């Protein structure tokens, strides 16, 4: 099925979608692809916020105006190098906690669940980036951020629940 169709289906029932992924042949490349696409979408979602900063909406009068190319390069390094490494660390921690709780899930299943949950919740992070670009960090942006966190947590919980079924 198409990636976008699976994202929409995930918001309705994350467990069913993850069960479908787990019936396929295990593929680390697929799991890593989910992570890379999710991180790239979040990287692109940062551009409105960076444009707002370059335009001077959030500048301190003594600050030197930032250069857009530098900000984009920093965000790229952050989202395409640092965050993927951090996500692998989070997956290892989730797996360790799962083993301590006697859950039967493999490291691959945990990575797939975490990376898919991040990708599936990325549309709300894209909305968050737009909100931060247009309105700055106010209550509206905070509400969207909280909605992302709740959605990501719900999808991750459903995905991890599907891994314990086997």
Q: What is the pLDDT of residue 122?
A: 96
Residue 36 to residue 25: CA distance in whole angstroms: 20
pLDDT tens digits for 119-139?
A: 999 999 999 999 999 998 889
Q: pTM of the prediction?
A: 0.91
Contact 141, 135 (CB under 8 A): yes
CA-closest candidate to residue 110, choices 151, 161, 145: 161
The separation between CA 47 and the C-alpha centre of its own chain, rounded to angstroms, equals 16
pLDDT tens digits for 76-98?
A: 999 999 999 999 999 999 999 99
Q: What is the pLDDT of residue 24?
A: 87
Q: What is the pLDDT of residue 53?
A: 87
Q: What is the pLDDT of residue 56?
A: 79
Question: Which residues does the chain have with pLDDT short of 50?
Answer: 166
Q: How far is CA 137 from CA 15, 30, 46, 143, in A?
A: 33, 34, 13, 10
Q: What is the pLDDT of residue 1?
A: 63
Q: What is the pLDDT of residue 166?
A: 44
Q: Using the Cα atoms of residue 137, residue 140, residue 141 and residue 147 in order, give the sign of their dihedral.
A: positive
Domain spans in the chain, listed from the N-terminal domain onward: 27-54+65-163
Contact 28, 108 (CB under 8 A): yes
């Amino acid at each position: 099925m198409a990636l976008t169709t699976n994202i929409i289906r995930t918001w309705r029932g994350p467990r069913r979608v993850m069960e479908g992924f787990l019936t396929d042949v295990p593929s680390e490349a697929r799991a890593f692809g989910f992570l890379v696409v999710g991180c790239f979408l979040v990287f692109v979602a940062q551009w409105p916020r960076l444009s707002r900063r370059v335009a001077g909406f959030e500048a301190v009068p003594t600050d030197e105006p930032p250069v857009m190319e530098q900000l984009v390069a920093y965000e790229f390094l952050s989202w395409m190098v640092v965050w993927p490494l951090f996500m692998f660390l989070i997956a290892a921690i989730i797996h360790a906690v799962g083993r301590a709780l006697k859950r039967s899930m493999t490291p691959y299943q945990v990575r797939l669940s975490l990376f898919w949950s991040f990708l599936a919740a990325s549309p709300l992070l894209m909305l968050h980036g737009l909100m931060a670009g247009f309105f700055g960090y106010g209550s509206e942006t905070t509400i969207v951020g909280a909605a992302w966190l709740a959605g990501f947590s719900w999808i991750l919980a459903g995905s991890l629940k599907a891994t314990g079924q086997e």
